[in-house]
């Protein structure tokens, strides 16, 4: 693994991506409180992310820094209305060397694309609510899910389920 | 051989290169059976991804995260994982261990509960304690503060007073 330069290549895009992430997160926090939803925000963020990805490729750590790179993943993770774009970004992320992209983000987007395409997930990162409990959506080869999670830098599925219960308690 | 003894072996071998190595294994070891828990070691290093030259050639390297690299040392009675990072959170697992050891010592009944939860649910030591102490989703941050956690444990362990009529 090569050392990542501390200077990022596109600081102006990093600021813009971080601002988009903030709007995304603010909307989702408000939604938890009052069920409100800002129509068009995800679509607008996706449109801008498409332009950015077209311009510079995947916003990797050396291009925009670790924080904005993670924010880019989060914005694409929420682009469920455009699975083709999610798949395109996933492929770009998978091509990058370690150190340029977080493996755990690849795991989350892999599962998102698979679930959005009607396939079982690989890492157990996507959940549904069943009888008042958080339950992972269908998992392929569930016996080995923790091995796959570990290889991507994730904690165990049991920890993830417990964290969901703590973070989003269901009434 | 205990986790502590293996940590001492590793530390003795590398102390001249990495004197700041910290033992950061979870405080509820071997819930799955004798000697089943790894030995986890925390190490701060600004070039965490470039330390392979200091370890034996058969060392496995996990660089799945951009902010830390795990060097998995072979040849010990337990798995040894050296978690290297340049993040300012590098001591967190060590501090969690200190909190967990203090809980084990002062509240053995709660410790048994946490151990059972860890075994039955398959969760981490931190999550088991979060459940026993009824912590919220900031439990990793809470567990850094040993005094605060002992205070919470004191309240959880204290039997509810129910005056007789």
> For A40-72, how does the pLDDT look when each residue is reduced to its tens digit (9 = 90+)?
999 999 999 999 999 999 999 999 999 999 999
Query: Distance between CA B64 and CA B61 in Å, rounded?
Result: 9
Interface of B with A in 54-113 (CB under 8 A): 62-67, 69
Query: Distance between CA B70 and CA B72 in Å, rounded?
Result: 6
Query: Distance between CA A49 and CA B157 in Å, rounded?
Result: 51
The Cα-based distances of B49 to A135, B9, B68 in angstroms read 36, 23, 7
Q: Residue A150's domain spans which residues?
A: 127-167
Residues of chain B below pLDDT 50: none
This prediction's pTM: 0.87
Same domain, A26 and A91: yes
Q: How high is the pLDDT of residue A98?
A: 85
- Region for A55 from its dihedrals, namely left if φ exceeds 0, alpha if ψ lies in -120 to 50, beta otherwise: alpha
Same domain, A18 and A61: yes
* Number of domain units in chain A: 2
Q: How high is the pLDDT of residue A80?
A: 97
Same domain, A85 and A132: no
Q: E strands, chain A, where?
A: 127-130, 133-136
Same domain, A51 and A132: no
Q: What is the DSSP letter of A121?
A: B
Q: Which of B64, B89, B96 to mutate to test the interface with A (most CBs of A within 10 A)?
A: B64
Query: Distance between CA B19 and CA B159 in Å, rounded?
Result: 44
**A5 — pLDDT class (breaks 50, 70, 90):** very low
Q: Which residue of B has its CA nearest to A153?
A: B64
Q: What is the distance in angstroms between the Cα of A96 and the nearest Cα belonging to chain B?
A: 12
The Cα-based distances of A81 to A75, A76, A78, B6, B100 in angstroms read 12, 10, 8, 52, 45
Q: What is the ipTM of this complex?
A: 0.83
Residues in A closer than 8 angstroms to B131, CB to CB, are 162
């Amino acid at each position: 693994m090569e050392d990542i330069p501390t200077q990022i290549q596109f600081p102006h895009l990093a600021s813009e991506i971080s601002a988009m992430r903030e709007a995304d997160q603010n909307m989702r926090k408000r939604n938890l409180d009052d069920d409100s939803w800002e129509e068009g925000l995800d679509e607008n963020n996706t449109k801008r992310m498409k332009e950015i990805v077209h311009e510079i490729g995947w916003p990797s750590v050396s291009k925009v820094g670790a924080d904005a790179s993670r924010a880019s993943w989060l914005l694409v993770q929420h682009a469920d209305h455009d699975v083709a774009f999610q798949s395109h970004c996933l492929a770009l992320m998978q091509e990058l060397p370690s150190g340029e992209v977080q493996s755990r983000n690849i795991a989350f987007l892999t599962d998102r694309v698979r679930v959005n395409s009607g396939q079982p997930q690989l890492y157990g990162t996507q959940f549904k609510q069943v009888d008042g409990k958080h339950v992972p959506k269908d998992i392929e080869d569930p016996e080995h899910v923790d091995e796959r999670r570990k290889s991507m830098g994730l904690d165990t599925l049991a920890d993830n389920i417990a964290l969901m219960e703590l973070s989003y308690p269901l009434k | 051989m205990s986790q502590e003894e293996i940590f001492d072996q590793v530390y003795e071998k590398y102390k001249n290169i990495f004197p700041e190595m910290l033992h950061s294994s979870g405080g509820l070891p071997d819930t799955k059976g004798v000697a089943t828990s790894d030995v986890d070691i925390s190490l701060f290093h600004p070039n965490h991804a470039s330390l392979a030259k200091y370890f034996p050639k058969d060392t496995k390297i996990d660089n799945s995260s951009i902010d830390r690299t795990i060097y998995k040392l072979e040849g010990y009675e337990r798995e040894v994982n050296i978690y290297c990072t340049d993040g300012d959170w590098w001591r967190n697992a060590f501090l969690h261990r200190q909190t967990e050891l203090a809980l084990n010592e002062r509240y053995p009944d709660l410790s048994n509960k946490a151990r059972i939860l860890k075994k039955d649910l398959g969760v981490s030591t931190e999550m088991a304690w979060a459940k026993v102490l009824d912590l919220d989703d900031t439990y990793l941050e809470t567990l850094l503060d040993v005094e605060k956690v002992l205070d919470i444990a004191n309240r959880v362990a204290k039997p509810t007073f129910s005056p007789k009529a």
